[in-house]
Amino acid sequence: MTSSPTAAPLLNAQNIVDLSFTTSSTPVRDGINLFVKTWHVPEGTPRKSVIIYNHGFAENTELYNEFLPHLAFAGHEVVVYDQRGAGQTSPGKLYALTNEDYVFSDLDTLIESVTKDYKGPLFLSGHSMGGSITLNYAIKGKHRDLITGYWAIAPMIVLHPKSQPNVFQRLMLRVGSAVAPNFRDRAPLAIDYITHDERWKKRFSSDEATRVVCSAGQMSDAIKRGTRLTDPDYVAKFVAGKPVAIFHSTTDYINDFAGSVTFFDLLPKSVPYKKLYRYTDMAHSLPHETPDRSAQVFHDILEYVDGVVDGSVGDN
């Protein structure tokens, strides 16, 4: 477990002003097309790897236009997509409609699409709910062996006591997910727990940026998905030979840092390298923190992915 140093260089927005990206559509089951955005490395820059990124609950690709492109500028192409039930993949009446089976079959298809013409280093990553999807994929994913390394930001493993549903809400969620899994409602989520940055707080408060709405089935599946990551027998099946890193704040009041510690400690010895980057005085959404905070997280992520690619990460 590592406490990261402070005072990392701030990210230079000018680096990504002219960075190119493309958008595409990936057909998946039942007539849905995933909206996919790919940030390309600068012309003349060798492509070190490709990173597939799973966004978090009530997020979408556009929320990462200020963070993920810096990885592309550093040589790591980034493929980020609106998951089923989110963003441009599922607008209007389709919003928040998904289930556990779709989550992983859609990701299978996206990985197949990415690796059709690319055979180099490949990372699977994600934030919050997307971080939990990433870690679960390393345990049960169809193409988990194709992934070179895994990393997750503030993964949804255990909800923090300040954000856990109360007894009545848990009962309604259990009943709703069984009887009416597509029933949708707003999810109580404290903006102050997401970030310290006032600009991002305003954006997260706007329906134009994110709709904090979930279906009963979606939230129930997400909670169960996280709980599985605290089961010793389940985590013992983590794909052998693949490194993993987690980036999490001890003051995350949405997803409890203790959940990441539990998962980290359960990882089997067959994992050749694991690292838990621990932060203090940061909120939940590390990519959307204040510039000084998000810069530290970025440089730690870059340290990890560069290290995996060049083999310098070392042994546990």
pLDDT digits 0-9 by tens, 149-198: 999 999 999 999 999 876 666 767 776 777 777 777 777 678 999 999 99
Average pLDDT over residues 210-216: 72
With a cut of 80, say whether residue 1 has pLDDT above it.
no
Rounded percentage of the chain residues whose pLDDT exceeds 70: 92
Contact 279, 250 (CB under 8 A): yes
For residue 187, the model assigns a pLDDT of: 74
pLDDT digits 0-9 by tens, 108-141: 999 999 999 999 999 999 999 999 999 999 999 9
Average pLDDT over residues 274-298: 97
Tell me the chain's radius of gyration from C-alpha atoms: 18
Distance CA 140, CA 305 (A): 22
Average pLDDT over residues 199-227: 81
For residue 79, the model assigns a pLDDT of: 98
Contact 10, 291 (CB under 8 A): yes
For residue 167, the model assigns a pLDDT of: 60
Confidence of residue 84 (pLDDT cuts 50, 70, 90): very high
Residue of higher predicted confidence among 104 and 190:
104
For residue 208, the model assigns a pLDDT of: 54
Distance CA 19, CA 40 (A): 7
Worst-scoring range by mean pLDDT, 24-28, 160-164, 258-262?
A: 160-164
All domains of the chain in start order, with CATH? 2-310 (3.40.50.1820)
Confidence of residue 210 (pLDDT cuts 50, 70, 90): low
Residue identified by tokens 């280093």 is: 121
For residue 214, the model assigns a pLDDT of: 76
With a cut of 60, say whether residue 2 has pLDDT above it.
no
Distance CA 76, CA 49 (A): 5
For residue 207, the model assigns a pLDDT of: 58
Output the average pLDDT for the chain: 92
**Three-class secondary structure of residue 56 per DSSP:** coil
Average pLDDT over residues 283-298: 97
For residue 141, the model assigns a pLDDT of: 98
Distance CA 314, CA 316 (A): 7
Confidence of residue 88 (pLDDT cuts 50, 70, 90): very high
For residue 314, the model assigns a pLDDT of: 61
Average pLDDT over residues 223-251: 97
Three-point CA angle 177, 180, 186, nearest 5°: 75
For residue 278, the model assigns a pLDDT of: 98
Please give the DSSP secondary-structure letter assigned to residue 205.
T
**Phi and psi, residue 29, nearest 5°:** -60, 150
With a cut of 90, say whether residue 267 has pLDDT above it.
yes
